[in-house]
Structure 1
Amino acid sequence: MVIDKPNGSDAAKETLAGRAKGGLLFMGGFVILLYGIEFLNTFLAHRLNADFGLRPRNVAGILDIATFPLLHANFNHLLSNTLPLTIFGFLAFLSGFRVFITALAFSWLGSGLTVWLIGEGGVTVGASGLVFGLFAFLLVRGFFNRSWWQILLSVVLFLAYGSILFGVLPTVMGYVSWQAHLGGAVGGIIAAVLLRPKGHSYRRA
């Protein structure tokens, strides 16, 4: 009995399809979690924001770096983050779970640390730092990877969403945390640098 083995092209297609399915499931589940938290937060008159939102330079609340992206000021705030977060997260997931989780983690940590270090008072909540981090990661990774299709994707994303990069600039609008945006973007770029292909160097004997 002869069993046909899939060739390299078929295996690559199966891998990409599996990653696409995983990306949809993961991002779908994450978005559902965000909406579930917001429903609960609304029911509690947004008391969760006061307890788990991020306050700059508050030593006792530094662990809130882990929770503040999961909270939002209201449903309009969450809605504004939903589509770009889903798109950017899905596209990052196509490169594999390790790549995605690294980009997400550095975006999360970069956003939180920047707010904690140079934020301007009040409580910061929202997933926009993750949006900026994943976006920045997708924009630059192709140049580090020397991948033409990733560079092409970055051009398309820049044309479609490039205007959001103004969100990393200091703003007079007190309700917008440019620090979260900037820190998330820096975290995404760091992730792209760390995930770049490593070259091999050899010494001659």
Structure 2
Amino acid sequence: MSSSTIEPTWSRTDRARAAAKLMLGWVALLWVLEAVDHATGHALDQYGVVARDPDTLPGVVTGSFLHFGFDHVASNSVPLLVLGFIAALSGIRRFLAVCGIIIVAEGLGTWLISPPNTMTLGASGGRRPDSAGSLGARRHRASRRSRCGGCSAKPPRWPARSDRASRR
């Protein structure tokens, strides 16, 4: 007998459960971090991104998990749960890898183009895993597996108004 390991195949239910647990844990982490930030007089806010300040480059990663208050976390929680869950269905490892790339790329972009001396916290915009970045990666992967070899169907080209009027 060989001692090779075989990767278990996950059912759709197992995949959905893992994605749900991951996203619930992720959102819970954001709420715990904001509670700690609030309890410490917003001491964690210093770990955000300040535009073009080299001392805040670690905030490229940490700033994605911090927010400016409970209302900020609340406004990000539902989209993160729903869209993050959908993105995580493609696989946990793949999802986390894409999230890491998105967090770093968008964090660096924020660091580079934000107005001078501004602090950025949170993952609003493209910095969160439910953003266009991760969903775009999922869509790209799905289109590569499609029957037509990754091509995408174009929407029908509707005739211009003048063309429609002349057909009557």
TM-score normalised by length of structure 1: 0.60
Question: How many angstroms does 1:140 deviate by?
Answer: 6.0
Tell me the amino acid that sits aligned with residue 28 of structure 1.
Answer: L
Question: How many angstroms does 1:25 deviate by?
Answer: 0.9
Structure 2 gap ranges (5+): 1-7, 147-168
Partner of 2:127: 130
- Between structures 1 and 2, the one with greater helix share: 1
Question: How many angstroms does 1:131 deviate by?
Answer: 3.3
Larger Rg belongs to: 2
Distance in 1 between residues matched to 2:97 and 2:62, nearest whole Å = 18
Change (3 A) 1:74 1:22: same
Partner of 2:33: 37
Distance in 1 between residues matched to 2:104 and 2:54, nearest whole Å = 16
Matched, 1:108 2:90: no
1:56 pairs with 44, 51, 75, which one?
A: 51
- SS of equivalent to 2:14: helix
- Kindly report the root-mean-square deviation, in angstroms, between the aligned alpha carbons of the 2 structures: 2.2
1:20 pairs with 16, 20, 29, which one?
A: 16
Structure 1 gap ranges (5+): 1-10, 149-205
Partner of 1:97: 92
Change (3 A) 1:32 1:116: same
Aligned residues: 136
